[in-house]
Each structure stands twice: as structure tokens, then as C-alpha cells.
Structure 1
Amino acid sequence: MDFWILLTGSLAAVSCAVLGCFLILRRMALMGDAISHSVLPGIVVAYMISGSRDSILMLVAAAIMGLLCVFLIQWFNNRGIQSDASIGVIFTSLFAIGVVLVSLNARQVDLDLDCVLYGEIAYTAWNTLQIGGMDLGPRSVWLLGGTLLLVLTVIGLFYKQFKLCAFDPMLALALGIPAALFHYLLMGLVSVATVSSFESVGAILVVGLLVIPPSTAYLLTDRLGAMILISAACGVASTVLGFALAVWLDASIAGCIVAAAAILFAVTFLLSPKHGLLFARLRRTRLSRSTA
């Protein structure tokens, strides 16, 4: 069972880490937070229609809600509302609608706030995919594996376009690259990755996986390719360390995974050769001595 927990957590962490790099570079970390909460109404409605938390309809509904959230935020921005205010209004409103829908239907369906907010990765091995009487392993592994494959395929096919849009969207437009299209494509991938990770880490903690590993990688390199690889490695390391911490403390696995990611970030923030706090202080000390 431990293997399936580690594999599920690693798949979720890598999917979020890869996409999070582009969110960090575009200074849209809060957008990931907004999307991870705003997809909740889509998830609830899809569950009420299909009766399953593993349906493709749920992924589609989540992606639609994520894109709707991004569209509404952009629409308010274009009409003079500040970006942070737009994000706060839209994602809290959509999330509140989702909470109300869950509360109204919690007695009729197997869906509750603990499921969508915190997730429970410990139950991964027991919810298996069976086809023709054959047990193919945990459903979440197949779902997250498919999501990771989708993310890597799309990013791989359009890597140059995503990279240019992240660093210089105006140049991308000048070169004929539809920056808006790739913006919404990225947001759609974030929505799919978010809902795929719901069952394992939940809506709140998935934000940590979207932001913390990429932020750690950002402190270690100035190259996007290396940043993606380091971010993914940090996500996997956070999963392994977090699981060990959860076993030791007998605590929430998902919470410990994000806590481990935060510890890695804190260590990197202190010791990073280029941006680390201690190295920056050491350089200032040497400079002051050389000029004295």
C-alpha cells in the first residue's frame, strides 16, 4: 500500500510542479490558487450527473469552471478592477457556490467537504479500477498518470510557445503566436491537474504543490528546462519525505507532503548559491571588506 501512496503523491506533485513553473514565471501563482478552488462547483455538478468521482465528465466540468474563472478575472481586469481584487472576488464566490452545493447534497451522495478540501491519499490502494473482472490497480494512479501524460505531451509539443509567452507575451504576439490561446490552454491544464489531485491531496493542499516546488526550483536556476526538472524532483522528494514524516507523526499524509515541500523551500531560500539568504549576506560582507 505504501508504494501506491508514494506513486499517487509523486504523480500529483510532478503534474502540479511542471505547470506551476509557468505560473511562477508569469507571476500568476494566485491564479493557481483561484483555479484550484473555483473548480469545485463543476466537480459537484458533474458528480451529481454521473454519480462517480472518477468520470471524464468531472475533468471536463472542472476544466470548464477553471476557464470560466480565468475569463471572469480577465473580464473584470479589463474593466478597471485590480487583479488581486478580481481574483479574490471570483474564486471565493465560485468556491462558496461549490461548498453550498456540497452541503445541500452531502446526504444523497458520497461527496463531502473533507473529500474535496483535504483529500485522503491513504485510501488510494482500496479504490481500484476493474475491467472485465481484472484488477488494474488504484483508479487515482491511472487518472493522475493520464493527467501527467497529457501535461507532458502538451507542454512538449508547444514548449517554445509556452516559454515565449511566459517570458515575453508581447514578443509572442509580434511573432504571430496566439498568446491568449496558450494562456487559456495553460489554465485548462491547471484545472485538469487540480481535479485529478483532489482525491489524493484535496483542493487546498494542491495549491502548495502548484507553488512551492516551482518556487524552490526558481531559486536554484535561471533556465526554464532545468527549473521544470528541479521542480518535478522537489515534488517527488516532498512526497517521499512527507510520507515518512506522516508515518512518524501519525498525521495527515497530504499535509505532511506540503509541509515537507515548505521545508525544502526554506532550506533552499537560506542556502541557494545565487539567491540564498546566507550566501547573499556573505557576499555583502565580502564586498564591504574589499571596499573598506
Structure 2
Amino acid sequence: MFDLFISPLTETYFQKALIGGSIVAIVAAVVGCLVVLRRMAFLGDALSHAMIAGVAGGYLVMKFFFGLEAHAPGMLLGSLIAAISTVALISFVSRISRVKEDTAIGIMYTGIFALGVVFVSIFRHYIHIDLMHFIMGDILGVADTDLWVSAFVAATVLTILILFFRHFQLATFDPIMAASIGLPVVFLDYLLTTCVSLVVVSAVSMVGVILVVGLLITPAATAYLLSDRLDKMMMLASLFGFTSVVGGLYLCVWLDSSGGGAIMLFCTLQFLVVLTVAPKYGLLSRWIRLRNLIPQQNIEDILTTILRYDKSTPKNIIAKYVETGKGLNRALRQMIQDNLLLEKNSYYTLTEKGLIEAKKVLRAHRLWETYLEKIGTPENEVHPTAHHLEHLHGKETIDYLDKKLGSPKKDPHGKMIPE
């Protein structure tokens, strides 16, 4: 068991993959938090696909003008230009036409991706790019150049995020306020897009076009389930990005599988575990909340039962008229905590707040009875029907009923309608 964990760490390829993958995953996760909060996930996919045109262009320029092949800085610059051009075209199309931004993204990124594929096929004698490698990546074959490029990009992007953190935060959560106080919102949008482009370009050679989007989105989405603060979310996202790389690489070695695929599989499993057990937004906590939820109808039935009883009411009387099943005790405890009831020796009375709420429901009940009697509802159906309708006691609804009926003082049974 010890060798399963230690043996891979002695291999150079594993060490490089671990270092390079961790750098990419951490910076992608941090930027991904802003991408997730701004609902820009599709844009990351667009940039990753569009950059093949930039890679092809950069390859041709370096080949024809400098006689160099597979020159990483040249292809990085070409990819960055392609990514920024894609964003500019998307913005242009969505602004000057009725086509929405998500549709413009789909049109532009597929078009530029297709342009890159055509370039690669036309100049196949000059461009030696393995499209399968480009799409799927090869994290176990990380070159020293890839490590240096990813480290430089990570340092640049993280520096920008630290310097402009407050600006990005305000522009993300309240862009109108950000613009009103003079922040350059459009510049910040393009700056963030440039950061995303840099991260995508630096990560594609390791994990490929498809999986880079996962590293950008999934750790950030996992952190989003655990935090309501952007700074904490970014720290958690970077942690999840790092653990995805570590866990994925071990999976890759143990199962003899694709490196990028194993990383994203581990990353997705992490997300599913957090989605299940997250203390506030997880499925388990949601199920517990729903299980403990007391229907408003039951609370209102308890209030009106005590109001009609007109004195301290024992639990057995409440149980006789309120269909709460085993939840009666929980409902009564909750109502005491909400200052609707007072309890003494298992007898319950309404507080001032509870009395107001009870009278609202009773007023609605008697107005509904009056309305039902007026439209010709059979006498034996008036009360049970009004019992269901009394829970529709919104102010506008009841005011409309009261006005429609001419502000009656008594219901059809001669009982006073509360003011």
C-alpha cells in the first residue's frame, strides 16, 4: 500500500505532471470562481476551441519568418490573439444584432475552431499538430517549456486578480453600482476575459481543449457549494483544483488510463461528494430541511383553532382540528420559538403577534364563506371550501374580496368578520 503512493513520486514524468497540473489547476480554479459567478462557463469552452486557429497561425508565423517549429511562446501569443478576437467578435455580434450572447458564442467559437482545423489541413506539410493531443491533452508528457509557460501565466494572472480583486468583486456582484461609482466595467470584463484566455492557452497542452473547461468550472462550482464569500471560495477552489490533479494522477497510474480524463473524473467525483454532503447547499441538508419543514397551512390551522377556542387550549383539542400527524409537537415548538404561542402546563395561548396572524386567517375564512354563499355554493360545502381557501389571505386578495362584497361585517352564519 505504501509503494502505491510513494513509487509514482519517484518518477520524473509524475513529478512534472504533478507540478504542471497543480499550477494550471490552482490558477484555473481561482479564475473559474469569477467565471462561475458571472455565468461565463460557455465562454471558457469557446476560448479553448477557438485557440486552435491561434496555434496554427502562431506555428505558421514562427515557421515562415523565424524557421522555428513548435515554438511555445509564438503559439501562446497566437492563441491569445485568437481568444481575444473571439471575444471581440462575440461582443460585436451580440451588440449590433438581435442575436443573444450565448448564441453568438456558439456561432463564433465553432466558426473559428473550424478555421483552425482548415488551416491545419491546408498547411499540413508545415504544421505538425496532433489534433487528438490538442483535444485530449497529455499531462504525463509535460515538457519543461510547458512548465515555464504555465508558471509565468499563473504568476501574471494571480497578480492581476490580487491587484484588481475589489474591482472584480464589485463588478461581478453589482455591475450597475460599479459603473455608477466610476469603475471601468467594460475594461474589467476584457481584463478577466484575457486572464481566462491565458489560463486556457497555458493549460491546453497538458489537459486538452475539453478538459481545460472542466478545470476552469468544476473546482469553482464545488467551492461555491461551501462558501458565500468570494475570497474563501477562491481558496477552496484552488484546494479542490490541486486535489483533483493529485487524485487524478494517482488514478491514472493505478488504472493505466488517460491522465487528463482521470483528473477530471476525480474532480467530478469531488463535486458530487460535496454536492451530497455540503452543510448548507448539499442534497442531504436540503432533504433534512424539507423533512423538518412545517407547512404554513398547519401553523395557520393551529392559530385559528386556539382563537376559536377563546381560552387556553390543551393539545388534544388542537390535535382534533389540525391534521399535522406526528409533526404537531414540532409545529408547536416552532411556533413558541417564533413568538406566536405561549405554553403553560401543556395549555397554549396566542401571543399578541399570534393573535394578529390568527385574525388575518379568520378574516379570510369568513370573507371566503361570504363570497361562496353569494355565488350560490351549496350550504354544506361553504365551510369546508372556505377552510381550504382561507390560506389564500394575501393583502391584495382579501382587500379585493372585501371590496367586491361591499365590506360586510358578518359572515353567512352571523359571525363577526374581524377587522
Q: Same fold (TM over 0.5)?
A: yes
Give, as a single letter, the amino acid of the residue that structure 1 aligns with 2:126: Q
CA RMSD, Structure 1 to Structure 2 (Å): 1.5
Q: Does 1:287 align with 2:293?
A: yes
Select which of 59, 68, 79 maps to 1:62.
Answer: 79
Q: Distance in 1 between matches of 2:218 and 2:252?
A: 19
Q: Residues 63 and 189 of structure 1 are in contact (CA less than 8 Å); yes or no, is this contact kept in structure 2?
A: no
Q: Does 1:242 align with 2:260?
A: no
Q: Distance in 1 between matches of 2:127 and 2:99?
A: 38
Q: Distance in 1 between matches of 2:124 and 2:222?
A: 38
Identity percentage of aligned residues: 36
* 1:7-26 equivalences in 2 (<5 Å): 7-26=19-38
Q: Does 1:28 align with 2:15?
A: no
Q: Residues 248 and 264 of structure 2 are in contact (CA less than 8 Å); yes or no, is this contact kept in structure 1?
A: yes
TM superposition shift of 1:16: 1.0
Select which of 137, 154, 164 maps to 2:160.
Answer: 154
- Give the equivalent residue in structure 1 for 2:100: 82
Q: Residues 39 and 65 of structure 1 are in contact (CA less than 8 Å); yes or no, is this contact kept in structure 2?
A: yes
TM superposition shift of 1:52: 4.0
Q: Distance in 2 between matches of 1:81 and 1:157?
A: 35
TM superposition shift of 1:278: 1.2
Q: Distance in 1 between matches of 2:222 and 2:15?
A: 26
- Give the equivalent residue in structure 1 for 2:151: 145
Select which of 102, 111, 114 maps to 2:129.
Answer: 111
Q: Distance in 2 between matches of 1:266 and 1:103?
A: 40
TM superposition shift of 1:27: 1.0
Q: Distance in 2 between matches of 1:140 and 1:41?
A: 19
| Higher relative contact order structure (alpha carbons within 8 Å, sequence separation ≥ 6) | 1
Q: Distance in 1 between matches of 2:256 and 2:283?
A: 33
Q: Residues 17 and 214 of structure 1 are in contact (CA less than 8 Å); yes or no, is this contact kept in structure 2?
A: yes
Structure 1 stretch displaced more, 94-103 or 3-12: 94-103
Aligned residues: 280
- Give the equivalent residue in structure 2 for 1:94: 112
- Give the equivalent residue in structure 1 for 2:141: 123
Select which of 164, 167, 170 maps to 1:164.
Answer: 170
Which structure's CA Rg is the greater one? 2
- Give the equivalent residue in structure 2 for 1:186: 192
Select which of 261, 265, 273 maps to 2:279.
Answer: 273
1:15-60 deviation digits (Å, cap 9, x = unpaired): 2111111111111111111111112101111012114444323222
What stretches of structure 2 of length at least 5 have no aligned partner? 1-11, 63-67, 295-326, 333-419
Q: Residues 43 and 105 of structure 2 are in contact (CA less than 8 Å); yes or no, is this contact kept in structure 1?
A: yes
1:51-77 deviation digits (Å, cap 9, x = unpaired): 444432322222222122112222222
1:135-154 deviation digits (Å, cap 9, x = unpaired): xxx22111111111001111
Q: Distance in 2 between matches of 1:199 and 1:54?
A: 13
Q: Does 1:48 align with 2:60?
A: yes
Q: Residues 103 and 112 of structure 1 are in contact (CA less than 8 Å); yes or no, is this contact kept in structure 2?
A: no
Give, as a single letter, the amino acid of the residue that structure 2 aligns with 1:158: F
Q: Residues 11 and 145 of structure 1 are in contact (CA less than 8 Å); yes or no, is this contact kept in structure 2?
A: yes
Task: Call closer, same or farther: CA 1:230–1:168 in 2, change over 3 Å.
Answer: same
Q: Distance in 2 between matches of 1:114 and 1:106?
A: 15
Select which of 165, 179, 182 maps to 1:176.
Answer: 182
Q: Distance in 1 between matches of 2:80 and 2:54?
A: 8
Q: Tell me the secondary structure at the aligned position of residue 39 of structure 1.
A: helix
1:131-180 deviation digits (Å, cap 9, x = unpaired): xxxxxxx2211111111100111111111111111111111111111111
Q: Distance in 2 between matches of 1:60 and 1:142?
A: 15
Q: Distance in 2 between matches of 1:166 and 1:207?
A: 20
Q: Tell me the secondary structure at the aligned position of residue 75 of structure 2.
A: helix
Task: Call closer, same or farther: CA 1:52–1:202 in 2, change over 3 Å.
Answer: farther
TM superposition shift of 1:266: 0.7
Structure 1 stretch displaced more, 185-194 or 97-106: 97-106
Q: Does 1:72 align with 2:78?
A: no
Select which of 227, 233, 240 maps to 1:227.
Answer: 233
TM superposition shift of 1:285: 0.4
